[in-house]
Structure 1
């Protein structure tokens, strides 16, 4: 995919497709996704990847990462090229996948789109994670969108902590911890996310009392270069809304324009 813009970790784009149960995103990396949903990940079947420490399944001819090795994968560099996987509960389930299902999984990894909604009874998967240059372009299917909103709330607060490290008494910069943005607040943004919206941590404003994260509604993009161009134009105008963090109450709220 084209990449005419420098990758910036302080710009987070989300486009929610409710009907087909997926989210297109820019700015959310695998390690952020996996750590925020660590209690929901089982074994991972690797559909397209460059990871060299997976185990091989003879029936599907796919490699997979057992649950107890996922943390090692999280620490690996998966940013180059395609990185695509689907989670599954039982290793034995791989051996009963039909030729049609294996073909659908190959198509998912190759085309990054489904032939039919990619939730399989045998695998009991909750996610399908399809990325190119992980963090630059991600398409993630969710069996339950509550997982998405939980992840997004944790990732937003984590990025804010990385952006605004505190200095200790010894002058050492350390990451500040913020509470995650609640699912209820993020769910109230569903109309904006269905259109395609950017959370810009590079444009945050703050004073002694609060931090404001601006949100612009910019539209539906699968090409993230085009998304960046549109964001550049939109950011010249006032944002469509703001996530507000009250420093005294230590609470998040949403301010719509």
Structure 2
């Protein structure tokens, strides 16, 4: 499989993050923030039940939510659009207007007012767009960091182990990207960045992964760009198993 470039674009007005090639897993949630219940935008046949009062298909309890996410991961199928909620009793108090807003959010992939409903007490909304993008609303944007760190670790592991046989050659273990580096990098999310694995370069025992601002120009995601367009470089040292972020622009200017 060839190298895959990653895309992250954060909208601070609505608190959503648009991504490409950054999957969602149950492990991407801290235990205390794992969704308790989900309203599903679609109706997977093997999971959930229809709520008689709202006619929403729902998952109830951490176990059902976990099992559904794990099934999507293991079978590599598209996850339904969903929104989490805390209490079935409060969910039943949604007004017809609020239900209409929720259905609009699932089908139009944007909000009429807010993606965060008082009666649901939701922390997230997950949406899959037709063009291969995922859009996720985060009440607390730092909850995105675990997901980002996991995918960076996975894609960098593929990078540093390129060409190694499945049966021959010891594969290198890649350390997780430290949270402090994600925090340093996060201001670039608002500009729409490409994590450019396709043009990553090896220099002795380090790998340099360019970072480029592409805003909404998604055609650039699959194209090689001049390396002098980089705004930063993620550097992974395979000997020391350490990460470094080298910013080439002043984020405070």
Q: How high is the TM-score relative to the length of structure 2?
A: 0.82
- Is 2:148 aligned against 1:148? no
Match of 2:177? Answer: 181
SS across alignment from 2:157 = helix
Question: Does the 8 Å CA contact 1:150/1:182 hold for their aligned counterparts?
Answer: no
**CA 1:38/1:183 → structure 2, altered by over 3 Å: closer, same or farther?**
closer
Which one of the candidate residues 239, 245, 251 is aligned to 2:236?
A: 245
Distance 2:246 2:221 in 1: 20
Deviation readout 1:174-219 (Å, 9 max, x if unpaired): 6x54232233322323342211110022322224432221111111
In the TM superposition, what is the alpha-carbon distance from 1:12 to its structure 2 partner? 0.6
Q: Structure 1: where are the runs of 5+ without partners? A: 1-6, 222-226
Distance 2:129 2:3 in 1: 15
Question: Does the 8 Å CA contact 1:13/1:26 hold for their aligned counterparts?
Answer: yes
Aligned residues: CA RMSD = 2.9
**CA 1:195/1:52 → structure 2, altered by over 3 Å: closer, same or farther?**
same
Match of 1:138? Answer: 134
Q: How high is the TM-score relative to the length of structure 1?
A: 0.80
Match of 1:41? Answer: 34
Number of equivalent positions: 240
Match of 2:96? Answer: 99
Which one of the candidate residues 117, 124, 128 is aligned to 2:125?
A: 128
Distance 2:208 2:234 in 1: 6
Match of 2:251? Answer: none
Moved over 3 A (4+): 48-52, 77-80, 162-170, 231-234
Question: Does the 8 Å CA contact 1:201/1:214 hold for their aligned counterparts?
Answer: yes
Distance 2:40 2:80 in 1: 8
Match of 1:4? Answer: none
SS across alignment from 1:93 = helix
Distance 2:223 2:93 in 1: 51
Distance 1:89 1:198 in 2: 35
Distance 2:135 2:96 in 1: 24
Match of 2:201? Answer: 205
Distance 2:45 2:208 in 1: 39
- Is 2:5 aligned against 1:15? no
Distance 1:85 1:13 in 2: 21
Which one of the candidate residues 51, 63, 68 is aligned to 2:63?
A: 68
